[in-house]
């Protein structure tokens, strides 16, 4: 049996690990209208750096970590 050369990896084109980097994502500012898949329509009331936002959904306020696939800016 031959030893495998170090540094050479087999590339599998359909691998789920070959996903491109999504990049920085959307940026949210205070008073932006957003929609969440679970909570519905809301407005950004607070921004905590680039890592989370606080959104007022009318009946409740939620702190949502970023990036979030369920949160969309309108």
Average pLDDT value over all residues in the chain: 84
In a domain, 24, yes or no: no
In a domain, 26, yes or no: no
In a domain, 1, yes or no: no
Domain span including residue 53:
33-73
**In terms of Cα–Cα distance, which of 71, 43, 67, 73 is closest to 55?**
43
**Which range among 2-6, 7-11, 48-52, 54-58 has the greatest average pLDDT?**
54-58
Q: How many residues are present in the chain?
A: 74
**In terms of Cα–Cα distance, which of 37, 32, 45, 23 is closest to 73?**
32
Order of strands across the sheet that contains 40-48: 61-65, 52-56, 40-48, 33-36, 71-73
Alpha-carbon distance of 56 to 44, in angstroms, equals 6
In a domain, 13, yes or no: no
Cβ atoms of 60 and 49 within 8 Å: the answer is no
In a domain, 45, yes or no: yes
Q: What pLDDT shows up at residue 54?
A: 96
In a domain, 6, yes or no: no
18: confidence class by pLDDT, cuts 50, 70, 90 = low
The domain tally of the chain equals 1
């Amino acid at each position: 049996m031959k030893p495998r050369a170090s540094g050479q990896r087999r590339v599998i084109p359909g691998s789920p690990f070959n996903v491109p980097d999504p990049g920085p994502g959307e940026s949210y500012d205070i008073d932006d209208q957003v929609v969440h898949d679970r909570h519905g329509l809301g407005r950004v009331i607070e921004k905590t750096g680039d890592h989370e936002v606080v959104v007022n959904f009318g009946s409740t306020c939620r702190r949502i970590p970023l990036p979030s696939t369920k949160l969309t800016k309108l």
